[in-house]
Amino acid sequence: MRKLTALLLTVIVGTSTLAACGDDKPSASAWAAKVVTVCKGLGIDREAAAASSGMPTDAAPTVEQLMAFSAAFGPTFTSAVSDIKALDRPSGMDAEIDELFLALDGGAARIARGATDTAVAEEDLNSQDGAPEWVRLEAANIAAGVAECNT
d(CA 30, CA 40): 15
Q: Within the chain, where are the H helices?
A: 2-21, 28-52, 63-86, 94-116, 118-126, 132-143
Q: What separation in angstroms does the CA of 55 have from each of 12, 40, 144, 151?
A: 64, 20, 31, 18
Judged on CB neighbours under 10 Å (0-12, 13-18, 19+), 123 is: middle
Q: Which of 145, 115, 150, 123 is nearest to 42 (CA)?
A: 150
pLDDT above 50 (res 23): yes
Please determine, for residue 35, whether its predicted confidence score (pLDDT) is greater than 70.
yes
* Residue 148: strand, helix, or coil: helix
The domain limits of the chain are 25-150
pTM of the model: 0.83
Write the pLDDT tens digit of every residue in 92-129.
999 999 999 999 999 999 999 999 999 999 999 998 88
